[in-house]
Amino acid sequence: MTKLLLVDCDGTIRKPASRAKFISRPTDQKIISGADKAVFSYYDQGFTIIGVTNQGGVEKGYKTLQNTIDEQVYTLRLFPQIKYIFFCPDYAGMLLYKVCLKSDGYDFDVFNRQNFIDLNTNELVYDSFRKPGSGMLKMAIDSLDDYPSEVLFVGDSPEDEAAAVGAAVDFIWASVWRQQFL
């Protein structure tokens, strides 16, 4: 049975390497102490690991879409146990990018929430892709071949906790999660 660990990125597993408040250059990032061991431990226990991150800085113009894709590629190289990373670039939570590494570089897909319609109710299947909406977490779960028997989301903000509640998955605070591995 598949077990899934969803990880928020900023403030949970990575932070700027410089004194900048946010990552705006793709390589300006470093692993938060304990996060590498924590990710490896879950991987070792058989969890599939997927990153989920709000990237409203794209809509705000703080970073380009390409920079944001490159930033996730850099994170995936820092954490080879993470299968791929989803990010939501817009405040309306309509778009979702999925970035994964390839042997010859990287690849990405783009999803639009308007394209997922429940044919019975005629309503959108997913809540906003931007946390605290639950859409990104649910898309991550649905990206697996099998429905996971266990899902845990680790994050560092109230928006993360609210997204976990909306998606009906277990939540753990990043500081507590990392502390076990310091």
Q: Which residues bind Mg ion (CB under 5 A)?
A: 8, 10-11, 156
Task: Give whole-number Cα distances, 165 to 19, 47, 135, 137, in Å.
Answer: 33, 21, 12, 10
Our CB check for Mg ion shows the closer of 10 and 71 to be 10
Pairing mode, strands 150-155 and 170-173: parallel
Nearer to Mg ion, 10 or 127 (CB): 10
Separation of alpha carbons 143 and 161, rounded Å: 21
Give Cα 164 distance to the centre of its chain.
12
Nearest distance in Å: CB 23, Mg ion: 11
Which C-beta is closer to Mg ion: that of 78 or that of 124?
78
Q: What is the Cα–Cα distance from 21 to 16, expressed in whole angstroms?
A: 7
The residues pairing with 85 across neighbouring beta strands, listed in sequence order, are: 51, 99
Nearer residue to Mg ion within complex by CB, 26 or 124: 26
Least distance (Å) from Mg ion to the CB of residue 147?
Answer: 26
Minimum gap (Å) between residue 160 Cβ and Mg ion: 6
CB of 120 to Mg ion, least distance (A): 35
Beta bridge partners of residue 4, listed in sequence order: 48, 151
